Amino acid sequence: MKYAIMMNFKLKKTLILFAVFSISFIGNAQDKKEAISQNSVDYSAYKADKVEMDKKIDSLLSVMTLTEKLGQLNLPSSGDITTGQSKSSDVAKKIEEGKIGGLFNIKSVEKIKEVQTIAVEKSRLKIPLIFGMDVIHGYETTFPIPLGLSTSWDMAMIEKTARIAAKEASADGINWTFSPMVDISRDPRWGRVSEGGGEDAYLGGEIGKAMVRGYQQDDLSRNNTLLACVKHFALYGAAEAGRDYNTVDMSRISMYNDYFPPYKAAIDAGVGTVMASFNEVDGIPATGNKWLLTDVLRTQWGFDGFLVTDYTGINEMIDHGMGDIQTVSALALNAGVDMDMVGEGFVTTLKKSLDEGKVSIQKIDASVRRILEAKYELGLFEDPYRYCDEERAKTEIFTKEHRAFAREVAAQSMVLLKNENNLLPIKKSGTIAVIGPLANTNENMAGTWSVATPQDKSITVLQGIKDGVGNLGSILYAKGSNLSYDKGFEERATMFGKEIPRDGRSDQELLKEALDIASKADVIIAAIGESAEMSGESSSRTDISIPKAQRDLLQALVKTGKPVVLVLFNGRPLVLTEENETVPAILDVWFPGTEAGNAIADVLFGDVNPSAKITATFPRSVGQIPIYYSHKNTGRPLGNSEGKFEKFRSNYIDERNEPLYPFGYGLSYTTFSYENLKLSTTKLNENETLEVSVTVKNTGNYDGKEVVQLYTRDLVGSITRPVKELKGFQKIFLKKGESKTVTFKLTVEDLKFYNYDLDFVAEPGDFEVFVGTNSNKTLKSKFELVK
């Protein structure tokens, strides 16, 4: 989508603040909004709006008591309260007393309007509340988990998913989402890898920008937008051992080059809020880290929105060893935190800290101001009920159009990992056996963090295949196995309403039924892998293979000699070495969302040609972790590409170095050739642009899409540099037999990095440039950057 202006936070306010509100809650906003052309920026209007906003907030600050100020910094969780309950609840009393600035986890227009009424009609200053929710990959219409969505490499489509999520959530009263999560992770043991965009900083940044644009659009005061929140700042995805909430310890060079860029991209895109992470950074928890939250975020990057903690993030600094609740609350405020999620350390201790000189009223006022600015920009002072339109709630949520798009997105996010002898696509005829514990479970189609999803309305694999075949063939079904042999593990893996009822029959009985059905089939669809809650928050795993009960089922099915297609559910890269060797076809569907079964059927039957490519490396063995494409060389690199062991070289005695599936990998039902890699020049000067072109041809028998990927390597630097870095990509469509010349443009800006002194520089010298179908299969050329 193109906008009249770039959405950096300063210029965003020009569009957001079209309306000039009076000091009261009622103004002549609409007339002024209509008077301003959306194709030009009226800077006088911007200045006037900024003046009016400042006047409004100055007026409030001048009359607010300390209790009311601290209340604005307080974000408790209400739970999804029952209608009518709010009037007599403890939450209602606190709202009336001005002790709450917002709520989260409350859903529906009726409930939110009831609570908002207390704030704007019964509290002394009538300051509206802000309402947040974890709208992570859709609202009621649910799209693939973010890791799956990232494999589409389609930024326009990703932006549209966020726009639809904003439309639905805002129609239900929500105006703030805790998304996007842009944490880079190179350790698939970490469960929350499912919520991010993979391992690459550049791609992660592009996805983050697309999500922010989708949620906030070009005018936050419109009632179909959401205030976005980039998280978790910072480095949360680099937890040691892949164990959630664990210590993070890395150099600042790695921070700036490999982990910070997606956060900064979201800031540059105008994201309104930032969430601090749980982990420590340089020995200080992020929630209390002034260098991180003020020096980097505000001073270096210019962020001027408000910063919220994660759930009880302030209180958790006590266990980190940073002091008691008063100490850590003061630490967080002084570091740059504005809003305390759930912990209530601010409302219970900051008055005492102020009296003792441990915090200043200027700090408190600055935080209050930022929160009031967000509410102003959302239009809540003009109309606190702008998100409480019951007609919208009836007509804009879980619509037929939204579900149709969700089906399209899910199909575009499925990665074909293997397709031996072109087993896929299969025909809509004959007898198809659908087998596996994930074949017929509505509750596990949407994946983790699907808090608003009507799980019972999600389409299962079995239902999707039945609908796809209709009366053209016969569909047989068997569960085949439980999720795991271990009942306790299965209980931990199916929490939060994501149950897969455990079958009371013995493992042998389940397997026998599956094999009997398989014997009658022409082809077997094995729906196995992780359940929805095997990934996500607090779902770290030391063994990232498919649970053994399902592996045993799969291998038994393979031994029947019938064609087997593995439909893989997962929220992380898995170790699939055995499966890759034995199963003819593997389709990674992640957790596809509410239209899961229909989208899976679309791909299996060839109505959609898969085009997704993985954004996180799949290891051959868990012992290779962390593993990622943009690693650095050692002084003793392996001297061969066949995986042969070499003593006194950087390799393993029991495993190859390379991954099972490299970053950017994904197959299609067609094939593509790359040739004629050309550079417009072999010497790039500082003010010039290097054009890199390649001819891509569809050489197969199907029309299809291909993600063309551009990488560079800085061969000599003042610090060691990665062996490859993604610098661009284009998703193109080619009819069978069609060719296209794809051109990329590189400038000096694309070659910059943070050096030892953390200066952002491009250093003259030789570079390699690669273009290809994945990070490991490319054409290569060379150029020189000259002064």
**SS3 category, 122:** helix
Answer for the pair 103, 93: CB distance below 8 angstroms, yes or no: no
Residue 21: how many other CB atoms lie within 10 Å = 23
| CA dist list (Å): 328 to 332, 342, 641 | 6, 14, 52
610's tokens: 């898969």
Answer for the pair 459, 595: CB distance below 8 angstroms, yes or no: yes
Report the b/e string of 658-673 with b at 16+ CB within 10 A: bbbbbbbbbbbbbbbe
**SS3 category, 202:** helix
Q: At what angle do helices 201-216 and 155-171 cross, to 10 degrees?
A: 40
| CA dist list (Å): 556 to 49, 435, 437, 582, 583 | 69, 12, 15, 11, 11
506 contact partners, CB below 8 Å, separation of at least 6: none
- Rounded to whole angstroms, the Cα distance separating 134 from 451 reads 7
Residue 98, CA atoms < 13 Å, CB-side half-sphere: 15
Residue keyed to tokens 């891509």: 696
**SS3 category, 10:** helix
Report the b/e string of 701-739 with b at 16+ CB within 10 A: eebbbbbbbbbbbbeeeeeebbebbbbbbebbebeeeee
- Rounded to whole angstroms, the Cα distance separating 285 from 323 reads 12
Phi, psi dihedrals of residue 29, rounded to the nearest 5°: -65, -45
Of the candidates 699, 679, 662, the residue with the CA atom closest to the CA atom of residue 776:
662
Helix (H) or strand (E) holding 781: strand 777-785
User: Which residue among 49, 310, 340, 714 is the active-site one?
Assistant: 310
310 is catalytic: yes
- CA-atom Rg of the chain in angstroms: 27
Task: Give the strand pairing for 725-734 and 704-714.
Answer: antiparallel
Phi, psi dihedrals of residue 327, rounded to the nearest 5°: -65, -45
Answer for the pair 376, 128: CB distance below 8 angstroms, yes or no: no
Phi, psi dihedrals of residue 412, rounded to the nearest 5°: -75, -10
Answer for the pair 232, 276: CB distance below 8 angstroms, yes or no: yes
Of the candidates 605, 574, 589, 618, the residue with the CA atom closest to the CA atom of residue 439:
589
Answer for the pair 145, 153: CB distance below 8 angstroms, yes or no: no
For 325-443, strand residue ranges (E) read: 340-341, 415-419, 430-435
180's tokens: 């996007």
Answer for the pair 306, 341: CB distance below 8 angstroms, yes or no: no
3-state secondary structure 229-243: EEEEECCHHHCHHHC
- Rounded to whole angstroms, the Cα distance separating 323 from 88 reads 36
- Rounded to whole angstroms, the Cα distance separating 684 from 768 reads 12
> Residues with catalytic annotation?
310
